[in-house]
Structure 1
Amino acid sequence: MTKQLILNAFDMTSAMHNSHGLWKHENSRRHREYKDPHYWMEIAGLLEKGKFDAVFFAEVLGIYDTYRQSRGPSLRDGMQVPAIDASYVVPFMASVTKHLSFAITISTTYEQPFSNARRFSSLDHLTNGRIAWNVVTSYLPNAARNFGLEDMVRHDKRYTIADEFLDVSYKLWEGSWEEEAVVEDGDNSTLVNPDSVHEINHKGNFFSVAGPHLSEPSPQRTPVLYQAGTSEKGRAFAARHAECIFVGGPTPLKIREYIEDIKAQARELGRNPDHLKFFSFLNVVVAPTTEEAERKFAEYDDLWSVDSAKAQFAGASGQDLSFYESLDPSLPFDFKKTEHAHYKQATVDRDPKKQPTIRQVLSRFEHIDRETYIVGNPQQVADGIQKQFEESGVDGFNLNHLLTPGDLEAFVDLVVPELQVRGIYKTSYKEGTLREKLFDHESAHLPDDHPGYGYKVKPETFEAKGEKTR
């Protein structure tokens, strides 16, 4: 059977996402309507029409203020701010769809595992098992200050915290409530069997959580776990915990290299590599004809905000580009080690054998980066997607869209039918929860090779410890 690609719409519940300056376009709606539930319900219906597997919501907890050491460039173009919490949007979108799933980004650096576990159990119940958690560790200095810290937690320590955060989460989701704890026994005046609900009594280096979990087991118990693993620490974390992994790279071959590395690490940990799905980003501008697509791309490029693009790169990478703007542009661009994210460097440092010059790096932000976009008619775009799909070894893509909802509508109407004709994209949804749709586990729950499965509640464990219900 031909391998079929998985598609997520990459979005954010904010005025603008990665469409720097395009709020000025006459057909832009998101900056005015992102606060309106009906806007998101419309988007949900469109994505389900296009058989998208999920909408993936990005999130940040601060303003990008590294570029020029100022928040001005971000605020002027609404670069991921203002924003609302995607958790509250999901139930509206779920109410008008049956199959579309939802990935929510939550940081392990600034949240608490107990409240986060209830958030995802609630969403999993309310969506009938269509929820995923994109696990992030957060990188913006402003985010750290918003949560009472003078400086960001160091990059590698953030992953150490995340490891323990996940372990606590598994204990709550998998080990606190037995499957049949809710008995609804009127004869014995018992709704919940107290002997089937257990404290977790976690005491670690970063968290102390007594439990029990406040929510009864949801359809998936543990939500599907998404994570972006590019750094060495990130790839190790993904190999242990993630089910869906976003891998960025300058070329399809580099992406394939990262995929094979994570699979090898997962195998060493006793996980089946087939239980991991890999994604990369997909940038598309499509129209009925090549000429129309080129005109559309040029129109977007004319509205592009250089400052906003630089602000995003600087905040994510920790490289304040304004420092380099005053130097000789022919000099090599010296990537300084920072405690920010590590994935952004790959977007401008594309030749592993040659260090880019300052001019080459800065020029990447002057226009929409055409090298990373597939622009053309439906057949040309489908050709480009199929090529990336086959060469990189990914299982699917996170689809960016510059103008919302116009570019999503164009993709659904023009590209999806072409992919379906080629047999590389589904024509109908598989039934079940998100985990059942993505994998062949024959269960909505974690497979037995996942570390979270090891925390699965076993009544005999509590009996052996002599636990008594009070």
Structure 2
Amino acid sequence: MTAKKILLNAFNMNCIGHINHGLWTHPRDTSTQYKTLEYWTELAQTLERGLFDGLFIADIVGVYDVYQNSIDVPLRESIQLPVNDPLLLVSAMAAVTRQLGFGLTANLTYEPPYLFARRMSTLDHLSRGRVGWNIVTGYLDSAAKAMGLDEQVEHDRRYDQADEYLQVLYKLWEGSWTDDAVANDPARRVYAEPGKVRKVRHQGEFYQVEGYHLCEPSPQRTPVLFQAGASDRGLLFAGRHAECVFISGQNKASTRAQVDKVRASAVAAGRQAEDVKVFMGLTVIVAATEEAARAKHAEYLAYASAEAGVAHFASSTAIDFAQYELDEPIQYVKSNAIQSATKHLQNNDWTRRKLLDQHALGGRYITLVGSPQQVADELIAWLDETGLDGFNLARTVTPESYVDFIDLVVPELQRRGRYKTEYADGPLRQKLFEQGARLPQRHIANEFRHLTA
């Protein structure tokens, strides 16, 4: 049996501080240049040189105002503030690459599905089928208030809305235009056949839509569907819809359990276990030798901000950790925030000191530090022992951390036969699943492909 090759996304955000906070102050870090096209086009070319499957771009609507009940720390340390739109980056990056995929985060709660469908179809056309959508519903009260609501919609209720949102999108992306609707026939003066473009009629609890999809079918029709949600309701949603699921693991045993739950949810929805690729977020600090890698790690720690990491985590849990003394037990509070984050605190055995220690590098992802051989050993062990398909590689000092990984770890993985030596042909979905550019018939989207005119 051929050993499974590692899939790899670069995890990033259209901002300065993403996961590992404080490192924007490092003299070799260039993240304050995020406002320029060159920052992104050069990154995309670097990642394609390293044969990364995709650039996964996170996003947030709202601000992290839970810690100290203010945005003082987020502003000082640029904790995902300011943050620019992720979708507008794709055209420029697609123009300077040919194979790299783009996973784009967009919050469905605040955007009509009719317009969002057009935006994603446009990007799928312009990139020749290289886009994916990371489906999020939001979790910040600051976002809800900015968008005119009194408070965030209840957690499970947000997923009910998301299920219907996806129904509308499937009708638009998959059902409005037939595959042969576009004739492009100048001799007959017919670009699209009128009888093969069908009106979408949707009357639901959350959305009422009557209209035609504004775009002709793009290479993938529906972009590759990414999602992150570890709650029971989130897993139910993932089983129905997601093709790539992003999880946060802290040890191999719990990660294995998460992976198994994701695959079981897909099977319960009538799909196959291998219809879902599971990615875990992690950080890598690598150098030619273990000693050099540990020295680099120590150097990074000197610039990282543990407090900024804890301030970020406070909004993920809706708990103001600043109100606690260093060694005072933090009390779990049920909220509409990220369920997997709050579950982390349910035993009431965490303190602010423990959280600061955990966030020493500015974030709480697992961090691998070592030589190329040591890092490759660990990546392979995580894949083989947990059932993961790949990783979302968080940045530390940018672009240094990606360049180091590409120059040092990628060749070592290739020597072991655990990483591709060239890109496969075709759109992103074909590259990831090797089963064609379109969603398979066993996916729930198939129910909406045969609209009547």
Please give the TM-score of this superposition, normalised by the length of structure 2.
0.96
- Superposed, 1:193-342 pairs within 5 Å as 193-325=193-325, 329=327, 331=329, 333-342=330-339
Which is worse superposed, 310-319 or 357-366? 357-366
Question: Could you say which residue in structure 1 is the equivalent of 2:449?
Answer: 456
Distance 1:371 1:88 in 2: 28
- Confirm or deny that 1:4 pairs with 2:5: yes
User: Aligned letter for 1:112?
Assistant: P
SS class of match (2:200)? coil
The answer to whether structure 1 residue 64 and structure 2 residue 64 are counterparts is yes
Measured in 1, the distance between the counterparts of 2:50 and 2:250 equals 28
Tell me how far apart the structure 1 counterparts of residues 193 and 383 of structure 2 sit (CA, whole Å): 49
SS of 2:294's equivalent in the other structure is helix
Query: Is 1:385 matched up with 2:379?
Result: yes
In percent, how many aligned pairs have the same letter? 43
SS of 2:183's equivalent in the other structure is strand
Bigger mean CA offset, 70-79 vs 364-373: 364-373
Partner of 2:339: helix, strand, or coil? coil
2:366 aligns with 372
Q: For 2:422 and 2:337, locate their aligned partners in 1 and report how far apart those are by CA, in whole Å.
A: 41
Q: Note closer, same or farther for the CA distance 1:182–1:105 as it changes in structure 2 (3 Å cut).
A: same
The 5 A counterparts of 1:37-436 are 37-325=37-325, 329=327, 331=329, 333-345=330-342, 356-358=349-351, 361-365=354-358, 367-368=360-361, 372-436=366-430
SS at match of 1:106: strand
User: How far apart, in 2, do the equivalents of 1:250 and 1:103 lie?
Assistant: 23
Whether the 8 Å CA contact 2:332–2:348 is kept in 1: the answer is no
Q: Secondary structure at the match of 2:324?
A: helix
How far, CA to CA, are the matches of 1:115 and 1:313 in structure 2?
32
- Give how far 1:323 is off: 2.3
Deviations, residues 4-63 of structure 1 (Å, cap 9, x unaligned): 0100000001122123111111111111x1111111111111101111000000000111
Q: What is residue 23 of structure 1 aligned with on the other side? A: 24
Query: Can you list the C-alpha shifts for 1:425-456, whole angstroms capped at 9, x where unaligned?
Result: 11111100000001131x21110100011211
Counterpart Cα distance in 2 of 1:268 and 1:80: 36
- Of 247-256 and 165-174, the range deviating more from structure 2: 247-256
Within 2, Cα distance between the matches of 1:189 and 1:357?
70
C-alpha distance in 1 between matches for 2:364 and 2:244 = 27
Aligned to 2:158, the other structure's residue is in SS state helix
Per-residue CA distance 1:192-232 (angstroms, 9 max, x = gap): 11111111111111111112000000000000000002111
CA separation of 1:307/1:212 partners in 2, compared to 1, >3 Å: closer, same or farther?
same
Cα displacement (A) at 1:324: 2.3
SS in 2 for 1:325: coil
TM-score when normalising by structure 1: 0.92
Q: Which amino acid aligns with 1:410?
A: D
SS, match of residue 201 in structure 1 = strand
- DSSP 3-state at the match of 1:386: helix
Structure 1, unaligned runs of 5 or more? none
SS in 2 for 1:4: coil
Q: SS of 1:344's equivalent?
A: helix
Cα deviation, residue 343, structure 1: 2.4
Aligned-partner SS, 1:125: helix
Once residues 59 and 408 of structure 1 are traced to their aligned partners in structure 2, the CA distance between those partners, rounded to angstroms, is 20
Deviation string 1:155-176 (CA, Å, 9 cap, x unpaired) is 1111111000000000000010
Contact 2:307 / 2:356 at 8 angstroms: preserved in 1? no
Cα pair distance change 1:185/1:362, threshold 3 Å: closer
Note the alpha carbon deviations across 1:110-145, whole angstroms, 9 max, x for none.
Answer: 111111101110000000000000000111111111
Please give the alpha-carbon distance, in whole angstroms, between the structure 2 residues aligned to 1:297 and 1:71: 29
Provide the C-alpha distance between the structure 2 equivalents of 1:9 and 1:16, rounded to a whole number of angstroms: 15
* Greater Cα offset, 15-24 or 60-69: 15-24
2: distance between equivalents of 1:12 and 1:361? 27
C-alpha distance in structure 2 between counterparts of 1:371 and 1:398, whole Å: 10
- Secondary structure of the equivalent of 2:360? coil
CA separation in 1, counterparts of 2:328 and 2:194? 71
Change (3 A) 1:370 1:344: closer
Partner Cα distance (1:183, 1:388) in 2: 49
Structure 2: stretches of 5+ with no match in the other structure: none
Pairs aligned (count) = 451
